[in-house]
Amino acid sequence: MPNSPKISLKGSERVALAGAHSTGATDPHQIIEISVVLKQRTPVKADQSRDRFLTHHEFAAQHGAQPEHVELMRKFARENNLHMLERGDEIERRTVTLSGTVAAMEKAFSVELRDYEHPEGTYRGRVGSIQVPEEYAQCIQGVFGLDDRPAAKPHYRYKTVQGAFGARDTSTSYAPSTVAQLYEFPNANAASSGPAIGIIELGGGYRPADLKKYFEGLGLKTPQVKAVSVDHAKNRPTTAQSADGEVMLDIEVAGAVAQGTPIVVYFAENTDRGFQDALSTAIHDQLNRPCAISISWGGPESSWTQAAMESMDQIAAEAAALGITITVASGDSGSSDGVSDNANHVDFPASSPNVLACGGTSLVAAGNAIGSEAVWNDGAQGGATGGGYSSVFPIPTYQANAVTGNMRGVPDVAGDADPDTGYNVRVDGQAMVVGGTSAVAPLWAGLIAVLNQNLNRRLGFVNPQLYSMNQSAGFHDITQGNNGAYSAAPGWDPCTGLGSPDGAGLLAALQSAVSTAQSRNASEKREQAPSHHGQTT
């Protein structure tokens, strides 16, 4: 029914980037690819207790795309002169890839694609909403990739001394393994074949020789690092001034604090399509099977479409059902999140209720212990931890007793992020000091992997457990400093969340919780077992 009336897809509205101007229509003969995300068979609820996590097969059967919806998209492609590129995981990832000319895409989705220039580069864009016939709209969650503007920024900050880029001076900086020691992380016992840590990257790359030299310098075994290409993106290292700093920081922090744990880096283009395709590819990766996924990229909620945020939040909930923890940097631009409208903003995907949002502190050691720790805030130019309250997502039940208000509070947890107390890393052959909340996401992903190893089980969506435990048992409460509009305070606050980790305390509290849950489950099973009293054989 190609001529049937079309309806707008909910939340697909776009406006041009601020400061952008159109340079003309996009070449109608250009071939592009897009991702059509289909609706879940049944909704996934992440915020629930789970005796066991779903297998990928169980997930596909319960929550994956309906097979008839995939077939419907094949019909849509045929009707609109598009090609459906079959990957074999359309049911699990709920994602169909379509390829075709710009002209065919414009007709199929009732959009006009134009080329734009803006202060940070160029992009192919659209304004208004995406429209499809109603028979197809009922199965579509969102359409991504028609517009390829940058979706996110990496949340890292180089230490700068007297104008020297990334330089070290006599101020405090640490090896990631030293930070782990200060936070009393448990020992890692991972074998090379153990559950991996996944890392999402939207640009940059790493050089294996650099990693080898870095870990040898720390006296550690170089972790097994594998690159996975998503939507044709590659591991493409260039210079230290590029996103290479983000990639190397993430790998080196995660690899140093979760020693021996394999690392899988999912490279995608920096678009809303690339971002969520990378995340869905990672959580449904049955070859590498990451137990934790670190994300150090994001942007203000106001820069995303509603459809993109809802879709990525659903994917994060799917990770929880599969026993995968997602850790996300909360941003480096304080309570404004870099938006110049004199209002407060939080970063997405950190604001998703289905991820562990990671804020930043300034950490000063006193020998082998923490001397002092406060909110990271180096001012407007130096950076400050992101945090505040979502304007999109309502408060999740796990925050009900900790967060005042009715909207999702960010962050959940924190860790060292100040470049002035930053991490010694190696980027493209150069030794540097790097900070930012980008460092905190892989720090916590590494901690989750180590906790999993010690508990001999996956924690999965850990937020409900962290908020329900005695905070003093697993966290260093941060009560000094601010990120602009918000100040630290006893208990949860919109600067550092519950606080920075006490790894040994977290492990003990989680072991106790696991033991209690196992005893309760065993008791319930005994009570539910049929009685055979009085029966004879």
Q: Rounded distance, CA 271 to CA 357, Å?
A: 21
DSSP 439: G
Closest CA to 386 of 373, 375, 402: 375
Cβ-count burial of 361 within 10 angstroms (0-12 exposed, 13-18 middle, 19+ buried)? buried
Q: Rounded distance, CA 206 to CA 245, Å?
A: 9
Is there a contact between 325 and 443 (Cβ–Cβ < 8 Å)? no
Burial 475-494 (b: 16+ CB within 10 A, else e): bbbbbebbbbebebeeebbb
**pLDDT value for 161:** 56
Q: What is the torsional sign of CA 506, 325, 45, 200? A: positive
Q: Rounded distance, CA 512 to CA 484, Å?
A: 38
Looking at 210, 250, 301, 347, which residue is catalytic? 250
How do residues 412-465 score in pLDDT, each as one tens digit?
Answer: 999 999 999 999 999 999 999 999 999 999 999 999 999 999 999 999 999 999
How do residues 164-176 score in pLDDT, each as one tens digit?
Answer: 445 554 468 999 9
- Would the pTM of this model clear 0.75, i.e. be above it? yes
Topology of domain 153-504, CATH: Rossmann fold (3.40.50)
Residues in Cβ contact with 197 at an 8 Å cutoff, skipping those fewer than 6 apart? 254, 258, 261, 262, 263, 264, 290, 291, 292, 293, 294, 442, 445, 446, 449
Q: Rounded distance, CA 302 to CA 370, Å?
A: 37
Distance (Å) of CA 439 to CA 60, 166, 190:
33, 15, 21
Q: Rounded distance, CA 24 to CA 462, Å?
A: 48
Q: Rounded distance, CA 356 to CA 38, Å?
A: 25
Burial 296-321 (b: 16+ CB within 10 A, else e): bbbbbbebbbebbbbbbbbbbbbbbb
**pLDDT value for 528:** 61
Q: What is the torsional sign of CA 107, 303, 390, 375? A: positive
Closest CA to 64 of 267, 280, 276, 277: 280
Residue 246 falls in the annotated catalytic set: yes
Looking at 129, 438, 477, 493, which residue is catalytic? 438
Over its length of 537 residues, how does the chain's per-residue pLDDT go in tens digits? Answer: 446 789 999 999 999 999 999 999 999 999 999 999 999 999 998 666 567 899 999 999 999 999 999 999 999 999 999 999 999 999 999 999 999 999 999 999 999 999 999 998 999 999 999 999 999 999 999 999 999 999 999 999 988 654 444 555 446 899 999 999 999 999 876 444 568 999 999 999 999 999 999 999 999 999 999 999 999 999 999 999 899 999 999 999 999 999 999 999 999 999 999 999 999 999 999 999 999 999 999 999 999 999 999 999 999 999 999 999 999 999 999 999 999 999 999 999 999 999 999 999 999 999 999 999 999 999 878 899 999 999 999 999 999 999 999 999 999 999 999 999 999 999 999 999 999 999 999 999 999 999 999 999 999 999 999 999 988 889 999 999 999 999 999 999 999 999 999 999 999 999 987 766 655 555 555 566 555 544 433
Looking at 90, 92, 246, 420, which residue is catalytic? 246
- Sheet of strand 83-85: strand arrangement: 83-85, 95-101, 31-38, 140-144
Amino acid occupying residue 394: P
**pLDDT value for 51:** 72
Q: Residue ranges of the domains in the chain?
A: 6-144, 153-504
Residue 90 falls in the annotated catalytic set: no
Q: Rounded distance, CA 277 to CA 406, Å?
A: 30
CA angle, 330 then 334 then 335, to 5°: 95
Q: Rounded distance, CA 424 to CA 509, Å?
A: 31
Residues in Cβ contact with 73 at an 8 Å cutoff, skipping those fewer than 6 apart? 36, 38, 84, 96, 98, 136, 139
Q: Rounded distance, CA 175 to CA 363, Å?
A: 13
Residues in Cβ contact with 458 at an 8 Å cutoff, skipping those fewer than 6 apart? 53, 195, 291, 323, 324, 325, 452
Q: 528 - beta bridge partners?
A: none
**pLDDT value for 471:** 86
Residue 250 falls in the annotated catalytic set: yes
Chain center to CA of 143: 20
Is there a contact between 96 and 90 (Cβ–Cβ < 8 Å)? yes
